[in-house]
Structure 1
Amino acid sequence: MVLTKQKIEHVAMLARLKLDDEETELFSEQLNSILAYVEKLDDLNTEGIEPLVHVLPINNVFRDDVARPGMPREELLANATMVEEGQFKVPRIV
């Protein structure tokens, strides 16, 4: 697979990137080089090889999800600069 200048420009447009002709040519060469390297994987014999998610056997260890009482509301709101009806009040952003 070879990426043409038009394909590079299309991908740049989708990514909202503005590339000049020099950058388009540079990225075209670099991406085509990467794709040529990746195409070497097509030559590998992968028959009998199981697909992997991780190279090493990794198991996630999760802790039990135990509900515990939190801090009292008054203690949480003690450091708030603005409070309204028992809730944090923050400045309007929009």
Structure 2
Amino acid sequence: MKLNREDVLHIARLARLGLEEDEINRLSKELSALLEHFEVLQQVDTTGVEPTSQSTPVKSVLKEDTIKPSYAREDILSNAPRREGDYIRIRAVME
């Protein structure tokens, strides 16, 4: 698919890009070449191929949560500048 100058300007407007004249010409060629690659991909027979959103196995990089002993509540609250019962009292963040 060949993109013309108006197509590139329309795409640039949608992306809120200001383009110089030489950029318009260059992008017209580059985007046209990119679309030609997609046209080739559209010709591939995908009959019997399951749709997928992830082509590689998903592996969590996070470690497992483990319960560990914590400090005593009174030790933590004793360091608070202001407290109210079992809570730390702070100034209002929102009005």
| TM-score bracket for this pair, using the shorter chain length | 0.5 to 0.7
One-letter identity of the residue aligned with 1:45: D
Paired positions, count: 78
CA separation in 2, counterparts of 1:13 and 1:3?
A: 15
Q: Distance in 2 between matches of 1:88 and 1:2?
A: 59
For structure 1, the residue ranges without an aligned partner over 5 or more in a row are 76-84, 90-94
Structure (1 or 2) with the larger CA radius of gyration: 2
Q: Which runs of 5+ in 2 are unaligned?
A: 82-88
Q: Distance in 2 between matches of 1:17 and 1:9?
A: 9
Distance 1:61 1:17 in 2: 37
The residue identity in structure 1 corresponding to 2:91 is Q
Question: Are 1:41 and 2:41 an aligned pair?
Answer: yes
**CA offset digits 1:42-77 (Å, max 9, x no partner):** 11110000011111232658867x9x9x964826xx
Mapped to 2, the partners of 1:2 and 1:31 lie a distance apart of: 8
Normalising by structure 2, what TM-score?
0.61
TM-score relative to the length of structure 1: 0.62
| RMSD, aligned α-carbons | 3.3
- Equivalent position to 1:74, from 73, 80, 86: 80
CA shift at 1:14, angstroms? Answer: 2.1
Q: Quick one: which of 81, 86, 93 aligns to 2:90?
A: 86
Show structure 1 runs of 4+ deviating over 4 A: 59-64, 70-73
Identity across aligned pairs (percent)?
29
Trace 1:56-75 onto structure 2 (pairs within 5 A): 56-58=56-58, 72=77, 74=80
